[in-house]
Amino acid sequence: MKVLLTGANGFVGSHILDSLCAQGIATAVLLRPASNRRFIEIHLPQVEVRNGSIGDLASLGAAMQDVTHVIHCAGCTKALRAQDFHEVNHHGTHNVVAAANQRSEQIKRFVHISSLAAGRPALPGDPAREDDPPGPVSEYGRSKLAGEQAVRNSCKTEHVILRPPAVYGPRDGEFLRLFKAVRAHLLPRIGGGRQALSFVFVKDLAEAAVTCLTHPAAAGKTFYVASPEIQTAIAVADEIAAQMKTWTVSLPLPIAALWPVCFLQEAVSRLSRKPNVLSLQKYAELRAAGWVCDPGRLRQELDFVCATTLRSGIAETLAWYRQHEWL
Ligand SMILES: NC(=O)c1ccc[n+]([C@@H]2O[C@H](COP(=O)([O-])OP(=O)(O)OC[C@H]3O[C@@H](n4cnc5c(N)ncnc54)[C@H](OP(=O)(O)O)[C@@H]3O)[C@@H](O)[C@H]2O)c1
């Protein structure tokens, strides 16, 4: 068995690489020349680096040489223009599938990391399930859904699609903002902060991805990969504040004020040429009543539970941020 992992140097991909290496699975990683390797330095002596981009079919063809399994984790989560999401999450995925198809007799399984955003907003009483009609509300979600469709409709080998909700854990720069806000005692409460949310701790997601490489019951299926706990932004912030042993003052940000804030942040991002997760693309996701999914299929069919509680996941994340002086 030999796995090609795309997106290996990113937040989620680096944890998948940790899991693959911990299990002694031979792995090749697809990296671009400018890809930052800080999270995966420790593994570089034992993995093969294959230079390429998911935008370049020829490089993907070469990268697939002698691999038997693919985990496609590369993706675009923030962008300056809608088309940037589609270029990576849709067309890039289409390329990875096309390259795998050229070696369909050699490649046994293709695991694709998608997103809850490709599904639909949902509340605890009616959580998103895999067979629901998809209803993405953002350009990111639409591009992830188009990527899924490229896998479902064109992939000649067995495939598995994983849909994580918001992912948190060591090495994540997005949740870090929330930790920093708590440290500054100021907590923006978007729409009251009561949006119902599913989460997954990054190490649980990584284990699920590696499990799906070989689990016989996973073939051809889509799974929501999430902790069974349902949270709100307030509960998460309160947990962080409790663990940091600090206090916070709420900064209410009503939904009506959200659009101008997203508009302003997008203007700043465009001027600085640095995409930010807070943008007009994200506005529709932020104003949804909830993003809750049901991980029941994963439990019932693969006997897999994302067991890390919010409390222990936050503790591990906080410890990592402090140890690495991110906080
Ligand atoms: N983080 C979350 O909360 C979350 C939630 C649900 C789903 N996901 C999905 O999880 C996956 C990983 O996300 P992440 O949070 O780990 O993001 P990330 O840290 O930004 O990592 C993205 C990875 O994709 C790679 N990539 C982007 N464009 C590429 C290209 N053209 N060719 C080759 N590699 C390319 C990046 O490589 P470079 O370093 O070279 O740019 C990087 O390794 C994505 O598919 C995302 O949609 C994430």
Instruction: Express each pLDDT in 88-134 by its tens digit.
Output: 999 999 999 999 999 999 999 999 999 999 999 999 999 999 999 99
Q: Which pLDDT band holds residue 253 (cuts at 50, 70, 90)?
A: confident
292 lines ligand 1 (CB under 6 A): no
Whole-number Å distance between alpha carbons of 63 and 144? 23
Q: Which pLDDT band holds residue 284 (cuts at 50, 70, 90)?
A: confident
202 lines ligand 1 (CB under 6 A): no
Mean pLDDT of the chain: 95
Handedness of CA 32, 37, 39, 44 (dihedral sign): positive
Residue 212, pLDDT > 80, answer yes
Encoded amino acid at 275, one letter: P
Q: Region 239-252: what's the mean pLDDT? A: 93
Angle at 56 between CA 50 and CA 57, to 5 degrees: 90
157 lines ligand 1 (CB under 6 A): no
Residue 191, pLDDT > 80, answer no
Determine which residue's CA is closest to atom 32 belonging to ligand 1. Answer: 53
75 lines ligand 1 (CB under 6 A): yes
pLDDT, tens digit, 9 for 90 and up, residues 49-98? 999 999 999 999 999 999 999 999 999 999 988 899 999 999 999 999 99
Distances (CA, A) of 75 to 72, 81, 82, 269: 9, 15, 14, 19
Beta bridge partners of 253: 190
Burial class (CB in 10 A: 0-12, 13-18, 19+), 15: buried
Paired sense of beta strands 196-201 and 230-232, if any: antiparallel
Angle at 73 between CA 235 and CA 63, to 5 degrees: 165
Beta bridge partners of 29: 5, 49
**Which residue carries 């859904």 as its tokens?**
145
Whole-number Å distance between alpha carbons of 194 and 143? 27
37 lines ligand 1 (CB under 6 A): no
Give all domains of the chain, ordered by start, each with its CATH number: 2-168+200-227+292-307 (3.40.50.720)
Angle between helix 280-287 and helix 139-154 axes, rounded to 10 deg: 90
Beta bridge partners of 230: 198
Residue 189, pLDDT > 90, answer no
**Which residue carries 């500054």 as its tokens?**
184
14 lines ligand 1 (CB under 6 A): no
pLDDT of residue 264: 87
Instruction: Indicate the range of 194-198, 256-260, 303-307 predicted with least confidence.
Output: 256-260
> 236 φ, ψ to 5°?
-65, -45
8 A C-beta contact, residue 223 and residue 297: yes
Distance 84 CA to ligand 1 centre (A): 13
CA 204 to chain centre: 12
Residue 263, pLDDT > 90, answer no
Whole-number Å distance between alpha carbons of 95 and 30? 13
pLDDT of residue 270: 86
pLDDT of residue 250: 87
Whole-number Å distance between alpha carbons of 88 and 83? 9
3-class DSSP state of 37: coil
Determine which residue's CA is closest to atom 2 belonging to ligand 1. Answer: 167
**Which residue carries 């708590």 as its tokens?**
182
Distance 242 CA to ligand 1 centre (A): 31
